[in-house]
Amino acid sequence: MQISKRAREIQESPIRKLAAIASDTKKRGISIYHLNIGQPDIKTPEIFFNNIKNFSEKVLAYGPSDGLESLKNVIVEYFSHYDIHLKNEDIVISTGGSEAVYFTFNVIGDPGDQIIIPEPFYTNYNGYASLSNLEIVPITTLPESGFHLPSMSEIEKKVTSKTRAIMICSPNNPTGTVFSQEEINQLGNLARKHDLFLIADEVYKEFTYDGEKHYSILQLNGLEDRVIVVDSISKRYSACGARIGAVFSKNQEVMKSIMKFAQTRLCPPSLEQIGAIGAYQLPMDYFTGIRTEYQKRRDTLFEILTSNKDILLRKPEGAFYIMAKLPVDDSEHFSRWLLEEFQSDGETVMIAPGAGFYSTPGRGNQEVRIAYVLETRKLERASHILLEALNRYNR
């Protein structure tokens, strides 16, 4: 018997791979501030749970593979507030945004085809690309330029006869960068010129700061056939465990193909879709307080970390992550050391080493992703612990 090559080669999540070490740290009685994973501590809206409590059917049956029409209806209504006009047929409900990425990768290319993605990128794209046998061709973005895109001519150099799509994530995980309308327009032009799909993971859509607006690829005119959006309620309604996401596209051939993949897993979770219907009916100002809270957290983290002039970081425009370049040679070693050897009054922090967010070998070795998903008081303490740890590590 032999384990498949695919299984041997698929990347372990850098966000979760230190988990076993962390559980040993906890067994030693040291508490950990988790800045390594995008699990917000914001309360899931009560209406989400109430909707589930009020479920009165006697059988929890399979639902439609593309999700409940009643959920699609509220999604259509929700997006109309952003002047994005979807129809129910443009939506397939998925089991989290994760499955939406997986379905999309399977639909846009065949084994050996390429997808261009700015790096650093959400590390699980590597896993989905392995499962779909797609090759990710990275465009490196730099901390010095706020992880914004290089010139279009640089990106265009990456296009080959095997390229099938360009994919972005905005607001970005792990960098927090929000791509501008001009950047999106230019990518749209490039997709048109080279006959490519344009995919955007927009699961952090609501989380933009300092008045910055998120511009969706769904707002691009004349490119409706090329555009595919990955969506999720995990971050929107702080409902990561619900596993409810969606794929949006106006290209009905794409949607029919996605539906075939959706049928293989029968249906997305039913009760959580019912919960999501409630959340989607919250007024739009529900997000105002949440945005303010995340912005406050971002500012707290940024202010404390910038007091160490050897840390290179830019103030992120959105999402809830900072990619910081630390004065260390090997951020994975530093991240392990934080869990295995360091403590400050019985506490330490857990962060995600940067290399796993890159596909170019050797990139990201000095960087870490820090998620500002803890309330300000805890975040303050965690940031000071990180500074103290850096001082001690470099002594």
Which lies closer to ligand PLP via its Cβ, residue 314 or residue 369? 369
Which lies closer to ligand PLP via its Cβ, residue 227 or residue 304? 227
Which lies closer to ligand PLP via its Cβ, residue 164 or residue 205? 205
129 belongs to the binding site for ligand PLP (CB under 6 A): no
Strand 135-140 versus strand 114-119 pairing type: parallel
Which lies closer to ligand PLP via its Cβ, residue 258 or residue 328? 258
Mask for 191-220, x = binds ligand PLP (CB under 6 A): ----------x-x-----------------
Nearest to 71 by CA among 57, 53, 92, 56: 92
Question: How many CB atoms are located within 10 Å of the residue 5 CB?
Answer: 9
278 belongs to the binding site for ligand PLP (CB under 6 A): no
269 belongs to the binding site for ligand PLP (CB under 6 A): no
232 belongs to the binding site for ligand PLP (CB under 6 A): yes
116 belongs to the binding site for ligand PLP (CB under 6 A): no
Handedness of CA 304, 307, 309, 314 (dihedral sign): positive
Closest approach of ligand PLP to the CB of residue 201, in Å: 5
Binding residues with ligand PLP: total (CB under 6 A): 13
Alpha-helical (H) ranges within the chain are 5-9, 19-27, 46-53, 69-80, 96-108, 124-132, 152-156, 181-193, 252-264, 270-280, 286-306, 331-340, 376-393
Handedness of CA 92, 213, 144, 40 (dihedral sign): negative
- Residue number, nearest CB to ligand PLP: 96
Closest approach of ligand PLP to the CB of residue 318, in Å: 11
**Tokens read off for 287:** 């997000």
234 belongs to the binding site for ligand PLP (CB under 6 A): yes
Return the half-sphere exposure (C-beta side, CA atoms, 13 A cut-off) of residue 96: 12
Which lies closer to ligand PLP via its Cβ, residue 163 or residue 170? 170
98 belongs to the binding site for ligand PLP (CB under 6 A): yes
Q: Which of 109, 245, 275, 316 binds ligand PLP (CB under 6 A)?
A: 245
Cβ–Cβ < 8 Å for 388, 39: no
Closest approach of ligand PLP to the CB of residue 245, in Å: 4
44 class by beta-carbon count within 10 Å (0-12 exposed, 13-18 middle, 19+ buried): middle
Which run of H or E residues covers position 353? strand 352-353
Which lies closer to ligand PLP via its Cβ, residue 241 or residue 289? 241
Question: Which residues are near ligand PLP by CB under 6 A?
Answer: 38, 96-98, 122, 169, 173, 201, 203, 232, 234, 240, 245
